[in-house]
Amino acid sequence: MNRTSADRARARAREHEEMHAFISLTSETGDGPAVAVKDVVDVRGTVTTAGSTVLPATPALADAPVITRLRQAGCVIVGKSNMHEFALGPTSENPHYGNVRNPVDPIRVAGGSSGGSATAVAMGMCDWAIGSDTGGSIRIPAAMCGVVGFKPTLGSVPVKGTVPVSPALDTLGPLAKDVRTAAVAVEVMSGRQGLAPDETPPSGLAGIRLAVPAGWGDDLSLEVDAAWRSVAANLPRVTLPPLTELRGAGATILRFEAARFHRDWLSRCPEKYGEDVLELLRAALGVTREQYVEALAAATELRDGVETALASWDAMLVPATRIVAPAIGSSYDRADFTDYTRPFSTTGHPVITLPLPGTSLPVGVQVVAKMGDERNLVRTALALEAQWQQ
């Protein structure tokens, strides 16, 4: 892999400050991969803002465990990437640190909440970047910025030292320009080796069993629908648990746990929140403990249902978002970003989002595999990537 030096990565970030990809830059040096870290993860000597002004502006005294693993692998942290405030939105429009701009069309959003990480990767401001994903926050910006996003199996990467959204669902993973780099990044982040094969597998999907979920993808925008049909039209269908249940359980869990984390600040300093995040959190205060417990139980059953559906398949293809990136400042429906990503946050399955070929604006597709089956997921994603790049 051709590496970007830390100095060159930071120079690129400074040259393109108008993209608002970073909240802060470091002065770290070294010869290892240059990595951007979403500003929810503690990096010693830097302030963790979570894209907000609510948290104390005090530098972290210690690295989060995942950063310790990066340092042991020789990685150099080049900066803390910008994001949607408190990772609670799908666009990375940020009233405190600037709206992250899309690298393909800067008048558009980058997707969220890990938008700064996606833009930094796409524009060569790092070799790869850490994002977090609770309802789609790695996969949405990957899809909208034309890069690869990898959400590993829930629990496979430590999230200690990370500002939480929903501890039951929070996952850390990388964004990168290609599948192999993302797979190596997950090896580093998880401490699990052997995910990236030593040699590139032959192109083509011979022997790989792919399917798509029955009844999904009938409500996509024109741009996304055309790209989706080009890859999904002839694949067999499998039946998943009801999409409304997959979405609803995860949303309930996220809202209850996020409201619990923010409750004191919401009463003491609501004026410090952006309007959209404040509205979401105030609504989340209405989720009851009974609803939360029911959603946790439902999530376990839904996970089993998806595992059963995947039993005979290597992977399943699913749309990433319903729409392409909208213009910054335009109105939007959160569901258009999250309806197809949230189900696999609810269940915890590993997912790689790949850019589809032949589109004027980036469109992504999710590749979903069985729980803990990252090795097969990487193998499938590498084969798809090779075929789509021909």
* Whole-structure pTM value: 0.97
Distance CA 261, CA 270 (A): 14
Place of tokens 């309806």: 339
- Mean pLDDT confidence for 347-357: 97
Mean pLDDT of all residues belonging to the chain: 96
- The predicted pLDDT at position 370 comes to 98
Residue 52 bears catalytic tag: no
Quick check: 360 pLDDT over 60?
yes
Percent of the chain surpassing pLDDT 90: 95
- Mean pLDDT confidence for 99-117: 98
134, 169 Cβ separation under 8 angstroms: yes
CATH of 1-390, one of 3.90.1300.10, 3.50.50.60, 3.40.50.150, 1.10.1370.40: 3.90.1300.10
159, two tokens:
């999230």
Catalytic option among 92, 113, 117, 132? 113
Quick check: 157 pLDDT over 90?
yes
Catalytic option among 38, 80, 151, 370? 38
End-to-end CA distance of the chain: 20
Q: Label residue 3 by pLDDT band (50, 70, 90).
A: confident
- Mean pLDDT confidence for 42-51: 98
- The predicted pLDDT at position 206 comes to 83
- Mean pLDDT confidence for 210-229: 97
What would the pLDDT profile of 283-318 be if each residue is shown by its tens digit?
Answer: 999 999 999 999 999 999 999 999 999 999 999 999
Quick check: 202 pLDDT over 70?
no
- The predicted pLDDT at position 268 comes to 97
- Mean pLDDT confidence for 185-200: 89
Catalytic option among 137, 156, 166, 190? 137
Distance CA 35, CA 128 (A): 5
Please state the domain extents for the chain: 1-390
- Mean pLDDT confidence for 231-252: 97
Residue 113 bears catalytic tag: yes
- The predicted pLDDT at position 390 comes to 77
Q: Label residue 1 by pLDDT band (50, 70, 90).
A: low
67, two tokens:
């950063």
Q: Label residue 205 by pLDDT band (50, 70, 90).
A: confident
- The predicted pLDDT at position 2 comes to 72
Q: Label residue 203 by pLDDT band (50, 70, 90).
A: low
Burial (CB < 10 A; 0-12, 13-18, 19+), residue 252, is: buried
